[in-house]
Structure 1
Amino acid sequence: MPALPLIQHPPWYQLPTHFPNAHLRSAVVIGAGLAGCAVARHLAERHWRVEVLEHRSQIAGGASGNPAGIFKPQVTSEDSHVTHYYKYSYQYFIDYLEKLLEGECSFEHDFCPLLGIDGNPSQTARFIAESNTPTSLKTGWLAPAEFCRAQINHPNIHVRTDIAIASLQDDEDGWRCLDAHGAVLCETPVLIVATGSASIQFQQTRELPLQPLAGQITLLDAEAIQPAVTDIHCDRHFIIPQADGSYVCGATHHRTPSLRVNDADHRANLDACRKLLPRHTIDANKILGGRTSTRCVSPDHLPIAGAVPDFAYYEHAYDSLHHGRPAKSFPPARYLPGLYVISALGAHGISLSPFLGHLLSDIILNSLNDEKAAITELLHPARFHIRRLRRKPADRSAH
C-alpha cells in the first residue's frame, strides 16, 4: 500500500486507549448496510461476537440495496493526506474483495475497465494510466446487497431484522438500545452506529453534521439501448449492463430526500445516458422501473468514523482554540466510552466501507499502526466542531 505521511495528534484528536469491559469481546452494530456489515465482519474475524440490528425487514434495504454499483478509485492529482487516504483505502478494498472471493463468499461482480463518454477511456482510466497508480487498482461493479450478505456470513455474526431502536442509554456495563416504549432491546459493552443520515436520531450522535442526499436509479430493458452495449460507461452518471441484458442507469442526486420513484428523475437519468452514448438511441418506453434511496454525506465529503466524542466537553475544553494557544496547553479529548460511529460514505460506500470497517475495528481494539492513525484525524467525528471553535466566537455558526 502507498505510504501515508505520519502526524502527531493534537489533544482534541487523541484517541481513546481503553474502555470498560473490552475483555468481553462483544459488540452490537446498528445498521446492516455496507458500513455496518463491513465493521461487523472485521470484528468477527478478530474473534468478537457481533450482533447486527436492522430496522428494516432485510439487510441492505437502503442505498446499499441497489442492484448494481460501480467501484473505482477517487480521482485526484493532489498530493495530500486526503489523496493518500483514498489510495490506501482503495487498495485495501481490492485486496479485501479478492480475499472474500478466494474464500467461500459469493456475490455477483465483474472486474472490468470503465469507459467514458462515447466509449472513450473514462477519467478514472486516464488517471490510472497517466499516474503511478498500481495496476492492481482494478475497477468494476458488484451487487451491493449480495456483498453485504457475503460479509455477514460469518459464525461470529448474528443478525436481527425489524428492530426499531428509538434511543440509546449508557450504564456502567456499556450501552442499552431501547424501543419507543423504553423497553430494552439489547445490552452491549461496545455499540457502533452505522445508520447513515439516520444516525442523528440518537441524542449522543445528534451533533454530527450529516446531510442526506436522495437519488434515483433507472432500470432499462435489454432492448432500450441500440446498438446494445456490454461495457460499463460512467462519467458523473453510469450505465451498468446486467447479465440478462438489462441496464442499471443513474443516478440523480437531491438535497431534499424523496423516497418516491418519479418520471422527472427517470428523464434526467435517460438524458445523462444519451450524453454518455451520443451515437446510440435510448428508448424511454423501455423503462422497467426504478429505485430511490438516501445516501449520507458530510460537509467536507469525507466519511465520519471513530469514537463518539463527548460534544459538551469539547465545547467547554476547546472553546478558546481561537486564541492560538499551544496545543499542549489543552486537555486530551474525551469520548463516550464504548460508543462508535461510521457514516457519511456518500456515493462510494462499496469501495470505502471495507477499510473504514478495518480502521474502526483497530480503533476499538487500540491496535492502530502509525499510518492508519494518521487517517483518523481526517475522519474524526469532532473535526467540524474543532474547525468551528478555531474561529472567533462572533464568526461561529452551528457547523
Structure 2
Amino acid sequence: MRPLSYGTVKSADICRQQTQLYNKQFQDIYHHRSAIEESHYVFHQGNQLQQQWQAQSDQAVFVIAETGFGSGLNFLTTRQLWQNCSRKPRQLHYISTEQWLLTPAQLNAFYKPWPDLHADLEILNEVFAHNRAGFHNHRIDHDITLTLLLGDATACLKQLTAQIDAWFLDGFTPAKNPDMWSEALFSQVGRLSKPGSTFATFTAASQVRRNLQSVGFEVSKSPGFKGKRERLTGQFKAPLKTDQPQQSWAPTPAATPSPKKITIIGSGIAGLCLAHSAKQNGLHVTLIDRSDKPLAGASGNPYALFMPYLTAKSSPEALFYWRAFESAVRFYPDSVFSSIGVNETTNKSPADDQRLQLPNHLIQHSDQGFYYPGSGYIDTAKLTKQLLAAIDTRLTAEAAGIEQTAQGSWSIINNQHIAIHHCDLLVVAAGIRSLQLLPDLTPFTQARRGQTELYQLSIWPEHLKQIQLNHGYLIPLQDQQQILVGGDHQHVPKKDWFRDCVPDPDKLQLNLNTLKSEQLCATIYRTQHLTTRSGIRCHTLDHLPLCGPLVDEAQFTQDYADLHHGRHWQHYPAAKTRQNLYVLTGLGSRGYTSAPLLAEHLIAMIMNRPLPLEYELTERLHPNRFLYRRLKKPPNITS
C-alpha cells in the first residue's frame, strides 16, 4: 500500500475447483467445505474469544486484527458469535488486511452452501464496493466496526495505530504466499499487540512459529482441524512496545484517565460532528458556543456544497478528502444529502491529470471540465436537528480563554476573566475563534471571507439540474425554485478575525462573476433576492485541517532547537502534549466533507481506539506539523 498516491487494488483472479473458490495467483483455495466449523475451531476457540469477552465485559472495546480478509467468512462468523454472546465488552472493532477483492458474483458463489449467511452478503458487497488502496471504515452494527486495510498487508499494518487483543493469522499457506508470514509482517504484529494479546492460525509451519516467538509470543501447538495435524496458538508476553512507527514530534495520545465526559467549544459542523461521535462512544457531551443557535458561524449557510477536493497530481490533501468524502457519504442520511452532481468548469488541459485515473463514481471528465456524479449539497437545517440529539448540556457563553489548573483540569474563561466552566477533557472546535483560545497556532492559519445569497426564481431554467462550480458555486434547489450562490473571497486581516462578519453588497457581483455564465447571471438578475449570509472561515497554510492534541510549544522548541542541523527525529524525545487538550479547526470551505471523518478520527484518538486514518495522513493533520517544519529550516543568517 502506498497511502500517499492515487492507488487502487485489483480483483482476485479466481476460478472454480471442485465447487470451491480457487485463487490462481496463489494456487490455493479460500476455504474447505467445512469452512464455518473451521473458522470457529481455529480462530474463535484458538483465541478463546468467548472466555476473553466474558472476562473483559467491563471494557469499552475488544480489537481483533486479521491478516487476509479473503471472502470475509471469519468476520461474519465472528459477528455471529459476538451477537450470540451475552457478556462482552461494549464494542467490537475488527481490522483486516486484503490485497485482492472479490466480486459480488464470486461472493454469491462462495456463500451458496451456507444459506444462513446469505443475508450478510449485502455487508460484504458494501465493503468490497470501493477499491481505493488504504483504510476503509464501516460501522456494521451499533456495536461492531470493521476497518478494512486494502493493500500489501505489511505496508498496511505499518500505517495502523491500534492495540490488538486477538489475531487471526489467515493468509494463504506460507509456502504459496510467503509475504503474509514474513519477519517484516510479524514485526508489525508484535508492535501492535497488547500484553496478553492472543493469536491463532491454521498453520504449524516452523518458520511461522519462529517469527512469532521472535517478536514476543509464547507459541503452542495443538491438534489441527479435520485432517490437519497441528495448528499454532499463543499469547503475547513481551511488554507493550512504545516505539510506535510515528514521528516523535507528532504524538497521538489518548485522554487520561479513560474519559466519561467531554467538553467541546464550538457548535459549527466540526463541533456537532464531534458531539455525535463522542455520544456514539458513550461520552457525556457538553457544548459551549457564543451563540444560542448551532451553525451560527461559517458553517451556517442554509445549504452546503458537499464534494471532495481532488488535485491534478496525487497529494496528501486530495487523498485525505477522498477518504473524507467516502466517510461523509455514509454519515449523512438521504434526508439531508441531495446527490445531484457537481459540474466544475475549468480551462485547464486534462493532459496528465491524474484525476482521470480515479473511479467514475467519484469524478468524470466533461466538455466544460469535470463532473462529480456523487457530489451534491447538504440541507444544514435538517442535519442540525439530527446532530443536536447528541448534546447533553449546552452552554451559551463567550469563551475568551482557557487555563489549566494545577490539578490538570481545564477552565473556560469569559471576557471578564471569570471561569464559566470546568472540565477534564477539552476539544477546541470553534473555527477561526479557535485561534483566540490557541494563539500559538495563529502563524500557521489564515482567514477568508465567504458569502452566500439565496434567490427565489419565478421560472426555473430547464438546463439547471446540477451544482455549477467555478471560482464560486451555484446550488439549484429545484423543489423550492430557489438558488444559492456563494464563494470565498479575499483574506481577512487579523484585526478582524474575531469580529462579527457583516454581509457586503459588493460581494454579490463578485459571486455572480465567478460563475462565468452570462445565461445564469441574466437569470439571477431577474429573480427575487431573499437572504444574504457571510462568515469567516479558518484555513491553514497547507490547506489541510488541524486535528489532534496540542503540543507544549515552549518545551518542544527547546527540545528540538537544533532540528535544523539534520539530526534524525528518533534522536529527540517525544513531544510533550498539553494533557487532555485537543483541537479541530482549519476545515476551510470543505467542512461538511471533512468533519465526519475528522470527528471520528479525533474521538478514536481520545478514547484509545484504532485510528481510522493511516499514520502518514494522521501526521499530515497533526497540529504540531507547522512548528516542526519551521524548526527544520535553518535560521536566517544576517550580517
TM-score by length of 2: 0.55
37-46 vs 239-248, which moves further: 239-248
Partner of 2:380: 144
Contact 1:217-1:252 within 8 A present in 2 as well: no
Contact 1:69-1:142 within 8 A present in 2 as well: yes
Structure 2 CA distance for partners of 1:283 and 1:141, relative to 1, 3 Å: closer
Matched ranges for 1:236-385 at <5 A: 236-242=471-477, 243-256=479-492, 259-273=501-515, 275-276=516-517, 278=519, 281-284=522-525, 286=527, 287-369=529-611, 371-385=613-627
1:158 aligns with 2:399: no
Give the counterpart of 1:112 among 336, 340, 357: 340
Structure 1 position 225, deviation (Å):
7.2
Contact 1:252-1:265 within 8 A present in 2 as well: no
Distance in 2, matches of 1:79 and 1:255, equals 27
Contact 2:267-2:288 within 8 A present in 1 as well: yes
1:176 aligns with 2:417: no
Contact 1:168-1:202 within 8 A present in 2 as well: yes
SS of residue matched to 2:293: coil
Q: Which has the higher contact order (CA 8 A, sep 6+)?
A: 1
Structure 1 position 85, deviation (Å):
2.0
1:212-241 CA-to-partner distances (Å, cap 9, x unmatched) read: 111211222213875673432222221112
Structure 2 CA distance for partners of 1:205 and 1:175, relative to 1, 3 Å: farther
Aligned residue type for 1:139? S
Distance in 2, matches of 1:145 and 1:236, equals 25
Contact 1:42-1:357 within 8 A present in 2 as well: yes
SS of residue matched to 2:599: helix
Structure 1 position 150, deviation (Å):
1.8
Partner of 1:133: 359
Contact 1:252-1:268 within 8 A present in 2 as well: no
Partner of 1:10: 247
> How many residue pairs align between the two structures?
378
In structure 1, list runs of 5 or more residues that go unmatched.
none
170-179 vs 337-346, which moves further: 170-179
Structure 1 position 395, deviation (Å):
6.5
Contact 1:193-1:341 within 8 A present in 2 as well: yes
Structure 2 CA distance for partners of 1:149 and 1:268, relative to 1, 3 Å: same
Structure 1 position 365, deviation (Å):
1.4
SS of residue matched to 2:285: strand
Give the counterpart of 1:62 among 289, 293, 297: 297
Partner of 1:233: 468
Distance in 1, matches of 2:287 and 2:381, equals 15
Aligned residue type for 1:9? Q
1:141-199 CA-to-partner distances (Å, cap 9, x unmatched) read: 11234323322323xx2242531122212122521212233333222111000011111
Distance in 2, matches of 1:280 and 1:296, equals 29
SS of residue matched to 2:249: helix
1:51 aligns with 2:286: yes
Contact 1:211-1:298 within 8 A present in 2 as well: yes
Structure 2 CA distance for partners of 1:115 and 1:371, relative to 1, 3 Å: closer
SS of residue matched to 2:330: helix
Distance in 2, matches of 1:152 and 1:289, equals 25
Give the counterpart of 2:448 among 213, 220, 242: 213
TM-score by length of 1: 0.86
Contact 2:310-2:322 within 8 A present in 1 as well: no
Structure 2 CA distance for partners of 1:395 and 1:246, relative to 1, 3 Å: farther
Distance in 2, matches of 1:395 and 1:26, equals 49
Structure 1 segments of 4 or more deviating over 6 A? none
Contact 2:273-2:595 within 8 A present in 1 as well: yes
1:297-339 CA-to-partner distances (Å, cap 9, x unmatched) read: 0011110010011111111111111011122211111110000
The share of aligned pairs that are identical, in percent, is 23
RMSD value, Cα: 2.8
SS of residue matched to 1:254: strand
Structure 2 CA distance for partners of 1:314 and 1:220, relative to 1, 3 Å: same
SS of residue matched to 1:95: helix
Distance in 2, matches of 1:384 and 1:246, equals 42
Distance in 2, matches of 1:214 and 1:353, equals 20
Structure 2 CA distance for partners of 1:208 and 1:93, relative to 1, 3 Å: farther
Partner of 2:218: none
Distance in 2, matches of 1:196 and 1:279, equals 32
Greater Rg by CA? 2
Distance in 2, matches of 1:203 and 1:231, equals 40
Structure 1 position 277, deviation (Å):
5.4
Structure 2 CA distance for partners of 1:173 and 1:149, relative to 1, 3 Å: farther
1:167 aligns with 2:408: no
Partner of 1:97: 332
Distance in 2, matches of 1:81 and 1:315, equals 26
In structure 2, list runs of 5 or more residues that go unmatched.
1-129, 135-155, 160-244, 363-372
